[in-house]
């Protein structure tokens, strides 16, 4: 099982779109068993892959026991409270998205849903549990280590407590990237911070290699004019420098193709379907189909 964290401390760069649509293509076309783990308090991956009734049932305050045990929130709450309520096998929603009658549309795509309550975790981790908190996500996923080919961690747009647990759990980090100047400077800062974080975590995961950035995806690409082509070329040049400085994985690559701007991707969220199901002939679907092959090649290349 390969655990991959999709991480960037900038919001709106396409993390959730990558997780949902890449996961769907891998499951549907390449027959890979993929688990999406929603760690973002915005719960966008959860809301994208569940029908409104299913999501509302998770968030329904009249069922608090079911709610906390069925989401990633309980993983972290257990550590803080000293409880053991989370059950990963009971929490996973299998075969998402689903039809109105509950039948599975993509049987190999599963979801470990998030909860809005995740926001409170960032402000409530006492110092006394810090050593137990960092590996808690990795420990929570260990019972299913033989059940999936890939686990995709949809991380919040920061590098706080929950994101650190994702970095510790993952073997690889993928950075979704928007091709503009501000994103380039942010990417450099992210790589430096991840390297510092990686060094500090080695004692907690001595059996893992260093967890550096392994791939980038380019999102919201627009072919009009040359500004985006220039930005992608600058990203590649920067990536070469970061490799020399050992701030990214030596085999890190910008995956192709870039995901073009496509309104169908945005529309697919309100239909609670990956774009390959919502509009299979759209440019967004075509790009994600090709990206799924590129992603698998890169994962093989990293071995």
Binning pLDDT at 50, 70 and 90, where does residue 61 land?
Answer: very low
Structure confidence by residue, pLDDT tens digits, 184-233? 889 999 999 998 887 777 766 655 556 689 999 999 998 777 888 899 99
Q: Angle at CA 107, nearest 5°, toward 73 and 103?
A: 90
8 Å CB contact between 273 and 106: no
Structure confidence by residue, pLDDT tens digits, 271-284? 999 999 999 999 99
Peptide bond into 199 cis (omega under 30): no
Give me the pLDDT at residue 56, please: 74
CA distance 294 to 290: 7
Dihedral-angle region of residue 225 (phi above 0 means left; psi in -120 to 50 means alpha; beta otherwise): left
Q: What percent of the chain has pLDDT over 90?
A: 74
**Domains in the chain, CATH or no CATH each:** 2-302 (3.40.50.300)
Give me the pLDDT at residue 201, please: 73
What is the residue-averaged pLDDT of the chain?
Answer: 91
Beta bridge partners of 125: none
Grouping H, G, I as helix, E, B as strand and the rest as coil, residue 258 is: coil
Structure confidence by residue, pLDDT tens digits, 117-167? 999 998 888 888 888 899 999 999 999 999 999 999 999 999 999 999 999
Binning pLDDT at 50, 70 and 90, where does residue 48 land?
Answer: very high
Element (H, E) at 170: none
């Amino acid at each position: 099982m390969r655990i991959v964290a999709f991480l960037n401390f900038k919001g709106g760069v396409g993390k959730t779109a990558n997780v949902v649509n890449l996961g769907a293509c891998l499951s549907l076309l390449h027959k890979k068993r993929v688990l999406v783990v929603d760690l973002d308090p915005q719960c966008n991956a959860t809301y994208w892959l569940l029908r409104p009734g299913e999501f509302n049932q998770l968030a329904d305050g009249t069922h608090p026991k079911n709610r906390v045990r069925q989401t990633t929130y309980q993983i972290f709450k257990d550590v803080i409270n000293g409880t053991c309520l989370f059950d990963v096998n009971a929490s996973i929603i299998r075969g998402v998205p689903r039809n109105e009658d509950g039948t599975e549309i993509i049987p190999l795509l599963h979801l470990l849903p998030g909860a809005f309550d995740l926001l409170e975790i960032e402000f409530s981790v006492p110092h006394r549990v810090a050593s137990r908190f960092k590996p808690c996500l990795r420990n929570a996923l260990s019972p299913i280590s033989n059940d999936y080919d890939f686990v995709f961690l949809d991380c919040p747009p920061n590098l706080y407590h929950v994101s650190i647990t994702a970095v510790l759990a993952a073997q690889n980090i993928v950075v979704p990237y928007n091709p503009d100047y501000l994103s380039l400077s942010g990417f450099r800062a992210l790589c430096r911070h991840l390297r510092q974080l990686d060094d500090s975590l080695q004692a907690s995961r001595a059996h893992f290699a260093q967890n550096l950035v392994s791939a980038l995806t380019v999102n919201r690409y627009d072919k009009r004019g040359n500004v985006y082509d220039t930005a992608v070329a600058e990203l590649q040049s920067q990536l070469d420098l970061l490799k020399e400085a050992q701030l990214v994985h030596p085999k890190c690559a910008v995956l192709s193709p870039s995901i073009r701007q496509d309104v169908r991707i945005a529309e697919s969220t309100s239909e609670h379907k990956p774009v390959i199901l919502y509009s299979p002939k759209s440019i967004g679907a075509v790009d994600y189909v090709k990206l799924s092959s590129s992603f698998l090649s890169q994962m093989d290349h990293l071995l």
